[in-house]
Amino acid sequence: MTTQRATKMVEGQAAWLNAVERTSAGLKGAARSIANSLGATVPLEEHEPIYPPAPSFSDLHIYASVKKANSVRAMFGLKNPFNRVHEGRLGATTMSEGREFINFASYDYLGLNQEPAVAEAAKAAIDRYGTSVSASRLVAGERPIHRALERALADFYDTEDCIVYVSGHATNVSTVGILMEQDDLIVYDELMHNSGIVGGKLSRATMKSFAHNNLEALEKVLKENRGKHKNCLILIEGLYSMDGDFPDLPRVIELKKKYGAWLMCDEAHSLGVLGKTGRGVGEHFGVNFRDVDIWMGTLSKTLGTCGGYICGNHGLIDLLRHHSPGYVYSVGLSPPLTAGSLAALELLKAEPQRVKKLQENGQLFLEEARKAGLDVLTSAGYSVVPVIVGCPVRAVRLTESLMEDGINALPIIFPAVPMKAARLRFFITSRHTPEQIRHTVKLTAQKLTTIAKKQSMLERAALAVAAPRD
Ligand SMILES: Cc1ncc(COP(=O)(O)O)c(C=O)c1O
């Protein structure tokens, strides 16, 4: 058939279809007017379903837990311990509602958020580059301080390159989310931070957890599952944010090599904390930093600003610069945060005595707490020491009671930790004094005993009802 004939045929068919459509519309219209004249109604389009209005957000099932928390607090006469307003910078002490408190609720581990040099660097960056870079770095370009910070972090971790993001949380979500794919496997410590897990879910890879810091359990998962998947990523933290302990990194490296997996280590609470000069869990164990494929960290803890980073080889960082959604489709790290982080990193390198002081303070807190009979789980006594309380109502009560005596330490309750593992989490910094630490531990132990004795039948019942959901 010639092209001309084929075109003619198609045109003919299109004209015929149009005619049919017009006729059928005409017939439908005629039927509707006959029906109307006889007093009957005909639905306009029978195949279009009618939808109810969108529900109110407060009727969503996830809002139920918000209502429940409010009613439990009301039932036990407790105030909301979260989102408290502080009138200044949080350090070893803080001012809130006009009162001074000894503070254990913020992670400025080396006191760098208190340092004039960090604030000055941030202010100078605002004067020169403004408060924002005003678009993604791909579009609005880089400022010299971006590359300077990335180079400094890459050198600190003895890796080839680094990429910084506007948020620590987004760093994990974007990196894990883009690197892993549907036929891959992610094996993660059960206490891994939410951001790594959200990234894993986004990737659609198969996810398997192993019992906290139990490397036999890790090997079992790898042995049973590694062969079924294309690529494999092991996700751990350098120092766990809830329990304050750390993994046996050399053994994890052996396993990752044996099973042909990548290893990603989140250094959020380990940078500036572990190792003689604060280079984290890698320095603590004296491993070759290049044996860890992905070093992740946040700028929001030790470095006193806000944002996150990934350090690794050129291939990894190049891939993230081109594909990672939190980098490509998000604004570049703002000038004051970039310059502030760089100044803080320089101070960390120049003054390792801060790291030593933090480590001494952490050990002192741990020893005192153990002597006082407090349950500190497996905390290694560095930046994070939990004090287990058990019942969430009791944990909130303990926070309230400590506040009455000038101590700010916040509860961690379900769903952040299992229902019966409610605790107060103490963040230790290099700026705390031994007196502040001893006083706080002593008071915590005293108050916990008093609160436990006073625990009402109602509280015991509430915990028993809640317990099966652990
Ligand atoms: C282990 C860990 N990773 C990642 C993050 C997220 O970091 P950011 O709060 O800086 O977004 C946190 C936050 O506390 C964390 O504890």
283-326 pLDDT, tens digit each: 999 999 999 999 999 999 999 999 999 999 999 999 999 999 99
79-112 pLDDT, tens digit each: 888 999 999 999 999 999 999 999 999 999 999 9
From the list 463, 405, 301, 409, the residue with the least C-alpha distance to 82 is 409
Query: What are residue 328's DSSP bridge partners?
Result: none
Q: Using pLDDT thresholds of 50, 70 and 90, give the confidence band for residue 469.
A: very low
Would the CB of 340 count as within 6 Å of ligand 1?
no
Q: Which of 224-228, 334-338, 417-421 has the lowest mean pLDDT?
A: 417-421
Q: What is the pLDDT of residue 379?
A: 98
Would the CB of 106 count as within 6 Å of ligand 1?
no
Q: Using pLDDT thresholds of 50, 70 and 90, give the confidence band for residue 458.
A: low
165-188 pLDDT, tens digit each: 999 999 999 999 999 999 999 999
Which tokens is 266 given?
């989140």
Neighbouring C-beta atoms of residue 380, cutoff 10 Å: 21
Q: What is the pLDDT of residue 97?
A: 93
Distance 272 CA to ligand 1 centre (A): 15
In this prediction, residues 262-284 reach a mean pLDDT of 98
Atom of ligand 1 nearest to the CA of 301: 10
188-245 pLDDT, tens digit each: 999 999 999 999 999 999 999 999 999 999 999 999 999 999 999 999 999 999 999 9
337-387 pLDDT, tens digit each: 999 999 999 999 999 999 999 999 999 999 999 999 999 999 999 999 999
Would the CB of 137 count as within 6 Å of ligand 1?
no
Which is more confident, 333 or 30?
A: 333
Distance 159 CA to ligand 1 centre (A): 21
In angstroms, how far is the first alpha carbon of the chain from the final one?
Answer: 73
- Identify the helix (H) or strand (E) that includes residue 24: helix 3-37
Which tokens is 285 given?
């164990």
pLDDT surpasses 90 at 457: no
AA letter at 438: R
Would the CB of 174 count as within 6 Å of ligand 1?
no
Neighbouring C-beta atoms of residue 72, cutoff 10 Å: 15
45-79 pLDDT, tens digit each: 568 889 999 999 999 998 988 888 888 888 888 88
Distance 146 CA to ligand 1 centre (A): 21
Ligand 1 pocket: which of 107, 167, 195, 305 to mutate (most atoms within 8 A of CB): 195
Ligand 1 pocket: which of 188, 192, 240, 241 to mutate (most atoms within 8 A of CB): 241
Local structure of residue 290 (DSSP, 8 states) = G
Atom of ligand 1 nearest to the CA of 307: 10
Would the CB of 267 count as within 6 Å of ligand 1?
no
Strands 410-412, 422-427: parallel, antiparallel or unpaired by DSSP? antiparallel
DSSP for 369-407 reads: HHHTT---TT--SSSEEEEEEESHHHHHHHHHHHHHTTE
Q: What is the pLDDT of residue 468?
A: 40
Which is more confident, 16 or 383?
A: 383
**242 in helix, strand or coil?**
coil
**265 in helix, strand or coil?**
strand
Q: What is the pLDDT of residue 17?
A: 53
- Closest residue (by CA) to atom 7 of ligand 1? 168
From the list 344, 343, 340, the residue with the least C-alpha distance to 122 is 340
Would the CB of 169 count as within 6 Å of ligand 1?
yes
* Fold exhibited by the domain 67-103+352-469: Aspartate Aminotransferase, domain 1 (3.90.1150)
| CA–CA distances in Å: residue 266 to residues 138, 222, 235, 281 | 26, 20, 8, 10
Which tokens is 399 given?
């926070």
Distance 413 CA to ligand 1 centre (A): 17
| CA–CA distances in Å: residue 209 to residues 70, 196, 229, 281, 403 | 32, 12, 16, 21, 37
Query: What are residue 387's DSSP bridge partners?
Result: 424
Would the CB of 270 count as within 6 Å of ligand 1?
no
Distance 79 CA to ligand 1 centre (A): 26
Q: What is the pLDDT of residue 410?
A: 96
Mean of all residue pLDDT scores within the chain: 91
Distance 271 CA to ligand 1 centre (A): 12
- Closest residue (by CA) to atom 9 of ligand 1? 168
- Closest residue (by CA) to atom 10 of ligand 1? 168
Q: Using pLDDT thresholds of 50, 70 and 90, give the confidence band for residue 470.
A: very low
Residue in the block written with tokens 């006594």: 381
Q: Using pLDDT thresholds of 50, 70 and 90, give the confidence band for residue 32.
A: low
Q: What's the pTM?
A: 0.87
Would the CB of 341 count as within 6 Å of ligand 1?
no
112-124 pLDDT, tens digit each: 999 999 999 999 9
* Fold exhibited by the domain 115-350: Aspartate Aminotransferase; domain 2 (3.40.640)
Distance 242 CA to ligand 1 centre (A): 11
Atom of ligand 1 nearest to the CA of 308: 10
Distance 89 CA to ligand 1 centre (A): 20
Atom of ligand 1 nearest to the CA of 192: 1
Distance 13 CA to ligand 1 centre (A): 63
Q: CA geometry: angle at 153 spanning 152 and 158, to 5°?
A: 95
Distance 283 CA to ligand 1 centre (A): 21
- In the chain, where the domains are located: 67-103+352-469, 115-350
